[in-house]
Amino acid sequence: MASCVSSLATARVSTKPRVSSRPGVTSTICRAQSEPRDAEVASVALPRRALFAAAALASLAPCRSARADAVPASAQMKEYRDEQDKYAFSVPSEWVQAEGVTSEDPRSTRRVVAFYPPDQPEINVNVVATSLGADYPKMGSFGSPDEFAYGVAAGMTRPKPREGPKQFSYVVDAKAVDAKYALEYTVERPTEGFYQHLYSVVGIGYNGRVNRLFTLTAVCPEDKYAEAADVLKKIAATFETPPTLYP
């Protein structure tokens, strides 16, 4: 499962909007230019633009074809509580747990904990924890929910990649939920017929050692999202992060 984790470059945001070519998608996109990862990204407290990209690192590439049956919204739930980073969330009791890292480079790696339905890893919920500096005490430090969401979309967008296919990300919705931000967005690579729908809840908390940016992301193929959305959002609603270091 760890091999499925996508590593994304940091990005510069452009103000020029772009509209998806897919029917039914009308939200605008925050375009970006891919850049090599700066040496500063390897530091314990990541710079602002790298933190936007870090929020998108949790998306997982599909590993095998999805089964035809839907993920039942009425499934019995079990709680996962992370002893290392002090966050918690609940998933259907039959879901499988996997762990991995976002990079093989120990200077910039981030741990990923994921759960997915048996034999359906392309539908999954995962959490990435990223260290924060003292200048990010609250989610408002990143701007509004919309500003944060478009920063994430920019980090997922590669309109002119040096290698590989073009990739675009579109913001569907962004809002504040208590002290967290909830984001809904899509990622697509049209030349590969690749379309993903993602729902993220992002919050800040102190794990007893360092301040962290916690990102829970529900990932689903676009053609499965309508039937899986209820259970994915039910999981996201259970996401708990530790208290912040700075009230």
CB atoms inside a 10 Å sphere around CB 94:
11
Contact 52, 12 (CB under 8 A): no
* Percent share of the chain, pLDDT over 90: 57
CATH architecture of residue range(s) 2-65+74-237 = 3-Layer(aba) Sandwich (3.40)
CB 169 within 8 Å of CB 186: yes
Q: How distant, in Å, are the alpha carbons of 156, 199, 234 from that of 203? A: 19, 14, 17
pTM of the entire structure? Answer: 0.75
Q: 3-class SS at 227?
A: helix
Domain boundaries, given as residue ranges, for the chain: 2-65+74-237
**pLDDT at residue 15, as a whole number:** 33
pLDDT in tens, 58-79: 543 334 333 434 556 667 999 9
Report the distance separating Cα 94 and Cα 76, nearest Å: 8
77-99 pLDDT, tens digit per residue, is 999 999 999 999 999 999 999 98
- Written as one string, the DSSP assignment of 121-142 is TTSEEEEEEEE--TT--SGGGG
